[in-house]
Amino acid sequence: MPLHNIDLIVVALFFLSMIVIGIWSYFKNKSPEDYFVAGGKLPWWLAGISHHVSGHSGAVFVAYAAVAYTHGFTVYMWWAFPVAIAIIASAKIFPAYWVRLRKNLRIQSPLEYLSTRYNLVTQQIMAWSGAILKVFDVGAKWAAIGILLNVVAGIPMTQGILISGVVTLIYVTFGGLWGVIITDLIQFIVQVLGGVVMFVLVVKKLGGTDSVTGVWKQLPPEHSYLFNDPYTAGFVAVMFLLYFLSYNGGSWSLATRYISSPSEKEAAKAARLSGYLYLIWPLILFFPMWAAPVIIPGLDSPDTSYGRLMLEILPQGMIGLVIASLFAATMGMTSSDVNTIAAVITRDILPVVSKKFANDAHPLRTARITTFIFTLATIVVAVNYERFGGVLGLIVNWFGALLGPTALPLLLGLLPAFRSSGPGAAIASIAAGIVTFIVTKNTELNSLALEVGLPTLVSAVVYIVVGLMTRTVPVTVNNLMEALKKPAS
């Protein structure tokens, strides 16, 4: 179904605003610190909104919408709710550590401290494996928006992916973190407007406000269950562990929001804002997805349910707004990832690969070239997303299962209780997690919780056990632990 002119104008204005902001932000970047961590001057409310926007993408409207269509309320229980609890519960812990690292060690990348905490080899293993993993994760986000555009507007998948990818490439390459943050704010506003419009129109179509609770009586009983197989309580517990690692900094772009905060207090406030948004906003965002089986029953492809729902209930002009909100959800997350991966490659990988990058006279130019190449790689993965198990397969089975082994040494390495876990523990835990992932991908476990969580659980056990077997702790590590105990000035 081709979009009407007014819808195209709305989408075009959205894209134009992203590019203008990126070019405007270009002039705010006077140094690599400005480009990668906004000069450490990111206000808490901007950091909180950006942390929230950067934590989810258009995949919510494809993969998660499919789960909402087939399994109901449980999608909130295994995604939004545990994410909110993981962030709020840790608001005074990890955000403070990330701020202290920037102020005490002058880091701009979340991985910079690892060469001191472990050693250079460990840092490189984590940098390379994390960067490669993110290629698949970001690729899944591009694929999700491509699916939605294909359903709603009949735009071929490849064209939809290229549109969102190229616009993101422009503003994140020019603007750095400031460009990402300001566009995150605009994207959040657009996303809220689009989500509220969908909520109101769905409620109206179902007969009024009574449908907010009454719709559950029209759905299969299991759709109102907190846990609906295969999304069991065990699966939710596994996802909580993964979200705890991811949203506190295991996902590097989310750590950057805290690193960029001017103080520990501001970082903690940003975390709480993001957590409360995850607790409340998805209840509104998901309602149309939960109600979709009543409005458009019997879909053979549940991952198209949100797009088909848009066509069913939205008038001209509103479709353009909601499409812009879907782009906003995807571009907010992907641009954050691209910016942070550029920081990791520029500051952690390239100086080790070649000495000429150690004293690079043009670090901003290098970062922009890195951003360009990384984005192209993610687009290639997006175009071939079906080979990796589809969008949900990429997000849950690939990124979810491999996130833990790469995030554990990064997060636990900040805590004094694990100071004895050195490079041997870190490398062994990553290797054990990857091997477990390979085994689970080739074994019939009959449990989604085990398939997704076993690599992280094995990695955690190895990290702790090897650490307990280590009797001596290097002086540099003890000094780092002592420095992290003290509030940053």
pLDDT higher than 70, residue 62: yes
Token pair of 291 as six digits: 């109600």
pLDDT higher than 70, residue 400: no
Q: Is 369 exposed, middle or buried (0-12, 13-18, 19+ CB in 10 A)?
A: middle
pLDDT of the residue at 465:
94
pLDDT over 70 for what percent of the chain? 87
Q: Out of 63-77, 336-350, 430-444, which region has the weakest mean confidence (pLDDT)? A: 336-350
**C-alpha dihedral over 379, 241, 256, 258, to 10 degrees?**
150
pLDDT higher than 90, residue 5: no
pTM: predicted TM-score of the whole model, two decimal places: 0.84
Q: Could you give the angle at the alpha carbon of 93 between the alpha carbons of 88 and 95, nearest 5°?
A: 80
Which amino acid does the sequence have at 187?
A: Q
pLDDT in tens, 131-183: 877 777 777 777 777 776 777 667 787 787 777 777 777 777 766 777 778 87
Mean pLDDT of 37-65: 81
pLDDT of the residue at 98:
94
